[in-house]
Structure 1
Amino acid sequence: MVLIRILAILGLFLLHPLSQAEDLGTSRDALPVELSSSTTHSSEGYLTLRWQPMETQFEPASHSAPLANLQVARERTFASLVRDIQLSVLSVQQQKQVHLSGFNDGTYFARLVDGDQRVLSNAVSFQVQHRDLKTAWGLFGAGLLLFALLLISIINFTRQEHL
């Protein structure tokens, strides 16, 4: 009984819903876009960032800057960017999400800004912690074993049909 309670508590910590992504930015009421992350903890190194315009249509700050940038950094201040992905305002209004991968272990922060570097969205954080090599090899071995069993089953059933 105690073991079941411990597993249930651990499950709550491991399965964070989308809405629990840490909001680090300005008040959501003042921003035209709400940004969210598919996970707060990634063991695979990839995730999905989704955004939802809070207004039906928003215009860039100036006509000389019709672009938006998705910024990803390791600090809350966004002083040093890890990624700076350029999107058109049309993409921000219609695309609604982007898939990112290739992150090293660590904590990252993401936000949307316009071409003039004015913040368009709240900032969200996510953490990447890859599985250790032992676990990766264990999963690979289990997959290889299942594939071998599948091949053996197919060969055996094929032989039985021909007899």
Structure 2
Amino acid sequence: MQLKEGKDEVITAGHFNLVWPTEKETLTSKQQALEGDSEGESSVIKSALLDNDQHPATHLNISKNQNFSEVSHSIKIHSTQRAISLTGFSDGVYYAKLFDANKQAVSNTVRVIIEHHSMLKVWLIFLSGATLFLILIGYMLVTVFRHKEEA
């Protein structure tokens, strides 16, 4: 299993994508055809998105500690599911791992670091956009009234 965004990447938006490949090492002809189409995506991600074979995993568990002694999220997954998008996480380090029906681990552990943008940065961007919007509206109103006076 791996982050679709890349290994050891800090997530700044609070949402992330996990993918897990098939256990097959060979690529199908369909995957080989796509090999050159989407540069930048690894073959692991391509095989995760194209394969319909079943896997033993039934749950994706997410924990704040590496040994999964306290699971914060347990998400049911389908036996053919190969990717998931998750959102709503607060700042911190999270660990994700796939488990089967007997609660045995069937994947590696993925570490996800979430660091949201600071609220100061968010407010600055919002206020900049609001200011530009108000300037645009003001300009449009002044232009409309000028044309009415000239007519």
Deviation at 1:156, TM superposition (A): 6.0
- Matched with 1:10 is none
Where 2:122 maps in the other structure, the secondary structure is helix
Q: Distance in 2 between matches of 1:97 and 1:114?
A: 16
| Structure showing greater Rg | 2
Query: What is the match of residue 23 of structure 1?
Result: none
2:3 and 2:16 in contact (8 A); partners too: no
RMSD over aligned CA atoms reads 2.6
What does residue range 42-53 of structure 1 map to in structure 2 within 5 Å? 42-53=11-22
- 1:68–1:134 Cα change, 3 Å: same
Give the Cα–Cα distance (whole angstroms) in 2 for the partners of residues 159 and 97 of structure 1: 55
Residue 68 of structure 1: which of 55, 58, 74 is its match?
58
Which AA in structure 2 matches 1:49? Answer: L
Q: Does 1:133 align with 2:102?
A: no
Cross-structure match for 1:105: 91
Richer in strand (by share)? 1
Instruction: Provide structure 1 residue ranges, at least 5 long, that are not aligned to the other structure.
Output: 1-33, 61-66
Cα 1:134–1:86 change in 2 (3 A) is same
- TM-score, normalization: structure 1? 0.60
TM-score (norm 2): 0.64
Give the letter for the 2:128 counterpart: A
Once the two structures are TM-superposed, the CA of residue 105 in structure 1 deviates from its matched residue by 1.4
After TM superposition, what 4+ stretches of structure 1 lie above 3 angstroms from structure 2? Answer: 149-163
Q: 1:155 to 1:36 in 2, by over 3 A?
A: same
User: Whole-Å Cα distance in 2 between the matches of residues 154 and 98 of structure 1?
Assistant: 45
C-alpha distance 101-161 of structure 1, shift in aligned 2 (>3 A): farther
The match for 2:106 is: 120
Matches within 5 A, 1:2-151: 34-38=1-5, 40-55=9-24, 57-60=53-56, 68-90=58-80, 92=81, 96-151=82-137
Offset of 1:70 from its aligned partner? Answer: 0.9
The CA distance in 1 between the partners of 2:55 and 2:16, in whole Å, is 28
CA 1:153/1:50 → structure 2, altered by over 3 Å: closer, same or farther? Answer: farther
Number of positions where the alignment pairs a residue of Structure 1 with one of Structure 2: 120
Q: Is the 8 A contact 1:37 1:126 kept in 2?
A: no
CA apart distance, 1:150 = 4.0
